Amino acid sequence: MTHQNMQIMEASSIFFCGYHQKESYRRLWYWCLFISVEVIFLSGLLLFSINAARADEWIYRMQQGDNLWNLTERHLTHLKFVLPLQRLNHIQNPFQIPPGTEIRIPIQWARQQSSSALVLRVFGEAQLRRQGLAQPLPVVDGMQIFPGDAISTGEDAYVTFEFADQSILRLQDNSELRFERLEILGNSAVVSTEVNLQKGRTESQVPKHSPINSRFRIITPSAVSSVRGTDFRVGANNDRATMNEVIGGLVQVSNQHQSINIPSGFGVLAEANSKSLQSVPLLPPPDLSETPSLYERIPLNIPVRPLSGASGYRAQIALDESFTQLITDFDTASLPIRGGELPDGDYWLRIRGRDSLGLEGFEAKLPIRLNARPEPPFIIAPQHDSVVENQSPELQWAHQPEVAHYIIAITQKDSNFSTPIIYEPEVKGNRYQLNQSLEPGDYVWKIAAVSAVEGIGPYNDPLSFRVPVPGPALESTDVSDQNISFSWAATEPGQYFHFQFARDEDFKQPIVDTFIHESKITLPRQDSGRYYLRIKIIEADGTHGSFSPAQMIEIPSKYPYWLFLLLPLIGLLL
């Protein structure tokens, strides 16, 4: 017998002599069977490298009633591993181990059965490459994923996976991920998941209180992230650098030079060939107190208060609060965040800042609603900041075939629409003539479209218009032999007038077209006949009012009419 075998026998004898007489005969039988059958095998097995075991092992937490014998019987491939397990974990008594004790178990010793992952949700286009298939397959909801499968996502495409331990992994757009290991270890004691992220980003949640333990590892070109009950993110960029961001729990990040534990609230950038790994605090969540929850325009325009230390931002929108059904992602270096062509509906928005290393911090989220359809029509008149021609203007807009009717509201400027001056809930066609006169002043109006399919859409941005002071009416006319004078009511300080005098009612060829500051004017007397005049007021700020209605005057002849009747008689007498 070799020296190593002698040592094993000596260690076994020491343990056996110390064994309490009250231990059950069953346990004694196990031990004797182990000594008699396995002693030669163990001499070689104990040469197993502990360092190698540490590199690929899982942690089992002892429960009430557990010992190394029944643990090995349930979860390992053979009872021959009892003594190696005892040596590896420095256990004094294999039958009396306090509950909660963590036991390191090399993967090679455990029972192993293949598992799979499930595609919970696909948004956009993603492809699966599977061994034995010449062509890639489109990734669809409900698809099973097996070891060796590789997934690639396109632009604005996202895939959410669920594993046997209820862990969730979300693969973002422009990413490549390969599933290296999907196994259940022991008697369903732990789910072992190992994926290889070649490029892109993942977001993972490994449950802390799942009935099944988790062993979760993400391999990237420059680091390995090993996880125990946590919420974390991993990214791999084109420079072969790895970003690890730990939101909850603990992540062990390792490269060929170093291994460090990253606690919650910290992250690490592992660059290619980097010899040092240094964790840094993650940015706090952004302040969304000024971010609205209702959006009525597309593409979205999302205001966010700037976050100190942020060099960029990521915003995501999903159908559910847990963001399992992620549908869009914005990555921007500036605020506000813009983009997104989404159907109307209710969503969840979450935003986080990105620091100078490219590490993304804690997120803030809120529910939002999009109601952008049917879109309000294109406005023809009155345009924003325009002046209407009269006190009962006509509103006009572009025709929308899919719209059943429109809602119109008018109110005074600098007031809200809670009590509008005019509210018409069902206007057909693409124009509306006011049936009442508006007092001179500033107003705003808005319009919303209503369709049978989409219901009531959003209003347009309120458009302001001015109803000008109407042109003054003529108060007096004085015709002399040489002149003709007109006067009208005085105006407010700073106002002046535009005066027109013409033969034709349309004023196409005015005889007089002038601006005056007094409320009267004197013109040379014109030939007898019919004339027209009109006046409009110009405000102190230069705003032109509307012309008064054309007013007709008759200029009499300089000679009495009876003189013209005597002209033929005078001619006969001469």
The pLDDT value recorded for residue 471 is 87
* Phi (first) and psi of residue 246, to 5 degrees: -105, 115
191 bridge partner residues: 184, 214
Q: Is the pLDDT of residue 175 over 80?
A: yes
324 compared with 148, residue with greater pLDDT: 148
Q: Is the pLDDT of residue 48 over 70?
A: no
Q: Is the pLDDT of residue 4 over 60?
A: no
The whole-number average pLDDT for the span 73-92 is 93
Phi-psi region of 566 (alpha: psi -120 to 50; beta: other; left: phi over 0): alpha
The whole-number average pLDDT for the span 324-333 is 89
The whole-number average pLDDT for the span 50-58 is 53
98-112, 144-158, 558-572 — which is least confidently predicted?
Answer: 558-572
158 compared with 28, residue with greater pLDDT: 158
Domain extents in the chain:
3-110, 113-281, 294-370, 379-467, 474-555
**DSSP for 230-275, written as a single string:** EEEEEEE-TTS-EEEEEEEEEEEEE-SS-EEEEETTEEEEE-TT-S
Q: At what angle do helices 3-17 and 25-45 cross, to 10 degrees?
A: 160
Q: What does the buried/exposed string (b/e) look like for 329-368 if buried means 16 or more CB atoms within 10 Å of the residue's CB?
A: bbbbeebebebbebebeebbbbbbbbbeebbbbebbbeeb
Residue in the block written with tokens 């106002």: 495
Task: State the number of CA atoms in the 13 A half-sphere of 291 facing the CB.
Answer: 25
Residue in the block written with tokens 């007109």: 486
**Alpha-carbon distances, residue 277 vs 239, 242, 255, 262 (angstroms):** 17, 11, 9, 10
For the segment(s) 474-555, the CATH number from 3.90.1570.10, 3.40.50.1980, 3.40.50.150, 2.60.40.10 is: 2.60.40.10
Q: Is the pLDDT of residue 5 over 80?
A: no
Domains 294-370 and 379-467 agree in fold: yes
pLDDT digits (tens, 9 = 90+) for 511-543: 999 999 999 999 999 998 999 999 999 988 888
Residue in the block written with tokens 């004094």: 92
Q: In 3-state terms, what secondary structure has residue 572? A: helix
248 bridge partner residues: 231
The three-state (H, E, C) secondary structure of 508-536, written as one string: CCCCEEEEECCCEEEEECCCCEEEEEEEE
Give the Cα separation of 316 and 323 in Å (integer). 9
The pLDDT value recorded for residue 230 is 82
* Phi (first) and psi of residue 429, to 5 degrees: 80, -165
* Of residues 164, 233, 208, 269, the one with CA closest to residue 61: 208
The pLDDT value recorded for residue 227 is 82
Q: Residue 299: CB partners within 8 Å, gap ≥ 6? A: 338, 339, 340, 341
Q: How confident is the model at residue 572 (pLDDT cuts 50, 70, 90)?
A: low
The pLDDT value recorded for residue 501 is 97
114 bridge partner residues: 183
Tokens read off for 538: 């110009």
What is the CATH architecture assignment of 3-110?
Answer: Roll (3.10)
387 bridge partner residues: 466
Q: How confident is the model at residue 13 (pLDDT cuts 50, 70, 90)?
A: very low
Q: Residue 6: CB partners within 8 Å, gap ≥ 6? A: none
Taking the CA atoms of 80, 85, 91 and 96 in sequence, report the sign of the dihedral they define: negative
Give the Cα separation of 548 and 488 in Å (integer). 11
Give the Cα separation of 574 and 485 in Å (integer). 40
21 compared with 147, residue with greater pLDDT: 147
Average pLDDT, the chain: 86
Strands (E), 18-143: 57-61, 102-106, 112-114, 117-123, 126-129, 137-138
The whole-number average pLDDT for the span 489-506 is 91
The pLDDT value recorded for residue 188 is 74
Give the Cα separation of 148 and 520 in Å (integer). 95
Contact 85, 72 (CB under 8 A): yes
pLDDT digits (tens, 9 = 90+) for 207-252: 776 556 678 899 999 999 988 658 999 999 887 789 999 999 899 9
The pLDDT value recorded for residue 1 is 47
Give the Cα separation of 209 and 61 in Å (integer). 13
pLDDT digits (tens, 9 = 90+) for 469-486: 888 988 999 999 899 999
The pLDDT value recorded for residue 229 is 59
123-127, 375-379, 556-560 — which is least confidently predicted?
Answer: 556-560
The pLDDT value recorded for residue 564 is 52
Q: In 3-state terms, what secondary structure has residue 405? A: strand
For domain 113-281, the question of CATH label 2.60.120.1440 is answered with yes
Residue 191 CA, distance from chain mean position: 33
pLDDT digits (tens, 9 = 90+) for 414-428: 888 988 999 999 999
pLDDT digits (tens, 9 = 90+) for 313-326: 999 999 999 888 88
Q: How confident is the model at residue 492 (pLDDT cuts 50, 70, 90)?
A: confident
Residue in the block written with tokens 């557990």: 66
Q: Residue 256: CB partners within 8 Å, gap ≥ 6? A: none
Residue in the block written with tokens 């390992």: 76
The pLDDT value recorded for residue 57 is 80
For the domain made up of 294-370, the CATH class stated in words is: mainly beta
Q: How confident is the model at residue 54 (pLDDT cuts 50, 70, 90)?
A: very low
Share of the chain above pLDDT 70, in %: 86
The pLDDT value recorded for residue 58 is 80
For domain 379-467, the question of CATH label 3.30.1300.10 is answered with no
Q: Is the pLDDT of residue 39 over 60?
A: no
Give the Cα separation of 176 and 306 in Å (integer). 32
CA angle 353, 157, 230 (to 5 degrees): 50
Q: Is the pLDDT of residue 28 over 80?
A: no
